[in-house]
Amino acid sequence: MSGESTTRTRTSTGAGAAGKAGRPAGGRAGHIVSGLAVALGFVLFVGGFGWGVVVYRPYTVPTGSMTPTVAVGAKILAQRIDGSQVRRGDIVVFTDSLWGNIPEVKRVVGVGGDRIVCCDKQGRMTVNGKAIEEPYIKDTSEPASPVGFEATVPKGNLFLMGDNRAESQDSRVRLTDTDNGSVPRSTVQARVDAIAWPLGRMGMIDRTDAFTGLSGGPSQPGPLKWVVSAIVAGVVLIFGGAAYGPVAGTLSRLSRRRKR
């Protein structure tokens, strides 16, 4: 009888230990929550990445005409938009046969109907008689353009200039063209929202308020911040949820050791 009792006790103890060993560390509820976190993270990551692919397109800036805002060779993210959405101050990517039929990156300084003159006595460019303060140009101590010019932008067109006014080959050097150096809105492919490379220059490109006093106002920022937030949140949830089991197991073992 004693041997049988001992056998039962051992069997019971072994079963109990096996039962404890078979339970997931952290408890059933914890593992359900961690699984949901991983699933939600996956949805956010894939959804954010897919959203970004649909809305944004990467480009490489071919020249130094947009320095210091965007350096030559920089990788940029530009929101795919229709030319009708463009406002003064936007940095756009466009392709026009008269400009070499390759993607160009310039800043919009005038839209259809605008009268652009440079420069006034303070060296500023004026649009429809309003002097424009341009903090984004390469050398703010110099006139807005080293060579004076006047142009009226045809309806449905855009007048474009680089921020590096001394070197930029832009609408100013094409004033003898049929459209006074401007390009049709339909040539615009995208609006630049951020610099993706190099690492030291990564970040959003804020909309300028230089043209705020003119009709139309500045454009609204694209959804890039929301796209990035969704991707980052997805990564955090995926790794956080996946790490729950191992972390809970480690903490459980440490707790048992202390009790001993």
Q: How confident is the model at residue 251 (pLDDT cuts 50, 70, 90)?
A: low
Judge whether 37 and 16 are in contact, CB under 8 Å. Answer: no
Identify residue 206 by its one-letter amino acid code.
D
Does the annotation mark 106 as catalytic? Answer: yes
User: How far is residue 194's CA from residue 228's CA, in Å, rounded to a whole number?
Assistant: 12
- Point out the catalytic residue in the list 2, 12, 65, 97: 65
Q: How confident is the model at residue 65 (pLDDT cuts 50, 70, 90)?
A: very high
* Whether the predicted pLDDT of 12 surpasses 60: no
Span 226-251, average pLDDT = 82
User: Which of 22-31, 103-112, 115-124, 193-202 comes out lowest in average pLDDT?
Assistant: 22-31
Span 44-54, average pLDDT = 94
State the pLDDT at residue 185. 97
Going by their DSSP bridges, the two strands 91-94 and 75-80 should be labelled as unpaired
* Whether the predicted pLDDT of 22 surpasses 60: no
Tokens linked to 127 = 């649009």
Note the Cα 40 to chain centre separation in Å.
Answer: 23
Judge whether 53 and 80 are in contact, CB under 8 Å. Answer: no
Q: Position of tokens 């060296």?
A: 123
Judge whether 110 and 155 are in contact, CB under 8 Å. Answer: no
Q: What is the residue-averaged pLDDT of the chain? A: 87
User: Which of 38-42, 223-227, 250-254 comes out lowest in average pLDDT?
Assistant: 250-254
Identify residue 23 by its one-letter amino acid code.
R
Q: Give the CA count within 13 Å in the CB-facing half-sphere of 132.
A: 27
Q: What is the pLDDT of residues 148-173, one digit of tens each?
A: 999 999 999 999 999 999 999 999 99
Strand partners, 105: 93
Q: How confident is the model at residue 90 (pLDDT cuts 50, 70, 90)?
A: very high
Instruction: Return all residues near 122 (Cβ < 8 A) that are at least 6 apart.
Output: 131
- Point out the catalytic residue in the list 2, 34, 75, 106: 106
* Whether the predicted pLDDT of 119 surpasses 90: yes
User: Which of 19-23, 197-201, 214-218, 226-230 comes out lowest in average pLDDT?
Assistant: 19-23
Instruction: Return all residues near 14 (Cβ < 8 A) that are at least 6 apart.
Output: none
Q: What is the pLDDT of residues 104-116, one digit of tens each?
A: 999 999 999 999 9
- What count of other Cβ atoms lies within 10 Å of the Cβ of residue 164? 21
